[in-house]
Structure 1
């Protein structure tokens, strides 16, 4: 099918490429004219056939809100907007209400896969009307990994980003546990091959995982993590997860502690935060802070610039 893609950065660009490899026609728009197929959102809409589908992959918050609002003025009844960024689920519900009054559909999709998604596929968590989801299934089938898993219609509008929000909160806790274990092994002077210990856990143990694989990769690249400063940003979804837990009176001690640990990383050069920073760079191509210059270091090979 033909689909518009707004935002061709490290995620949106790779997703557009995976769709093209899967036989879809993608019309892409980005503020960078060197990678954009059209010059404006209006040109993008004009290049699509009704009923249109436009996937938005721009930063959460005001950039997404402004993009959705502009598209809402350009699209017609029965067209649909897909927000695949890391938006707050409350924004999704507001967008759906505003667009619905004009007959334009809205679907929210939590997307996980980072810079590796182009080759491995993306885990997709969708929220929206069943008819809209069904119409977009050819796109979802192409983007997700091969096999039966990797996609869920999580519920009504907002459910996709809510599920992704919780996913990222769990991710915070898992990364923090690995990082603290690494710090203890390094500090104890009992284990002389710390990297080898982690590598030995990759098969046959209950903590084997893709994150563990990425941790081993990070240690192979920089065994003592001397090239990183112990500073880790948070995407905002960890905060939203903790706030949702407060709203629903659900205790989240591990995820909350992991979020606070990231806050603490901004006050001192935490050894554990070096590992969190390294993992974020490995799986998502996120910029990291150099230990020497304080400048943002480049992502790993295969990551986005």
Structure 2
């Protein structure tokens, strides 16, 4: 299948790589010429502008946007829209707010799919988890694309109408916040408890048959082995996007109690109150969460001044 990919950052390059490997015909564009060249090296057809990308695609256009949520998505759509019709399909694979996705679908001439994407750069080998909202026919037509980008047929599904994909991904990220906080608190107690423990060994043991085994726990082991049991100079500053905040806001609107997710979000806000490197004597749990963000997303690790 021919597909245009717009946005060639870490995640976008993985999308291109997996699609090319699966035999799809990819046309790639990014504002960064070096990123376009990297995609071309992978096997994509490079485009030096959105107009070139549109001209290169066939009469029926299939487009995957992998760009930052917000104004960048709207600006890109403004440029694309004059060339699109209802038979064309746009997939927004970024972390857009679900209400923004609904608005865009209602105002776009093209058929709009909102696609929540989870897996981070680790998905380069494993594939992503894709949560997709939008019309059934458009989802069905792009199943070969979703199969290639995801872990396979079990790694994606249509969640429901437009907006539902990004809605499910929003809640996914809220759950992620709470899980990271929970692991952090457990390791904080072990680090300050009665025994001198090898936390990497604890994580490895827990991850082999224990009820609480998970990929995040594997990343905890990786963090302790790379940084040391005390996490070295990893700061108690937790950066992050807006999805956790959106989850709590939606819970308030729906009057659904989410105390664990809320507390995890509050811990993140508290970590930022002391500046970009956090409190030198701050919470070990926050430092775990900081380092975990690098593990799954290759986000920058905030570090304390030594």
Structure 1-normalised TM-score? 0.92
Alpha-carbon contact 1:122-1:150 (below 8 Å) kept? yes
1:286 aligns with 299
2:226 matches 1:208: no
Q: Give the Cα separation in 2 of the matches to 1:157 and 1:192.
A: 49
1:90 touches 1:158 (CA, 8 Å); kept in 2?
yes
Alignment gaps of 5+ in structure 1: 294-305
Range 27-36 or range 245-254, more displaced: 27-36
Question: Are 1:170 and 2:175 counterparts?
Answer: yes
| Most deviating of 83-92 and 228-237 | 228-237
Asked if residue 249 in structure 1 is aligned to residue 255 in structure 2, the reply is yes
Root mean square deviation, CA, Å: 1.3
- The 1-side partners of 2:244 and 2:33 are apart by 33
In the alignment, is the contact (CA less than 8 A) between 1:68 and 1:81 conserved in 2?
Answer: no
1:277 correspondence with 2:290: yes
CA contact (8 A) 1:168 1:238 kept: yes
Counterpart of 2:9?
9
SS of corresponding position for 2:34: coil
Match of 1:152 in 2: 157
Map 1:216-227 to 2 at 5 A: 216-223=221-228, 224-227=230-233
The yes-or-no answer on 1:20 pairing with 2:20 is yes
Moved more, 195-204 or 184-193: 184-193
Greater share of helix? 2
- 1:40 corresponds to which residue? 49
TM-score between both structures, scaled by the size of structure 2: 0.91
Aligned to 2:201: 196
Cα deviations by residue, 1:225-269 (Å, 9 ceiling, x for unpaired):
113111111211000100110111100000010011100111242
- Structure 2 unpaired stretches of 5+: 37-45
**How many positions carry a matched residue from both structures?**
289
**Tell me, what secondary structure is at the counterpart of 1:12?**
helix
Which shows bigger deviation, 86-95 or 28-37? 28-37
Report the Cα offset of residue 64 of structure 1.
1.2
Query: 1:55 aligns to what SS in structure 2?
Result: strand
Q: CA deviation at 1:191?
A: 4.1
Output the CA distance in 1 between the equivalents of 2:91 and 2:17. 17
Instruction: Give 3-state SS (helix, strand or coil) of 2:264's partner.
Output: helix
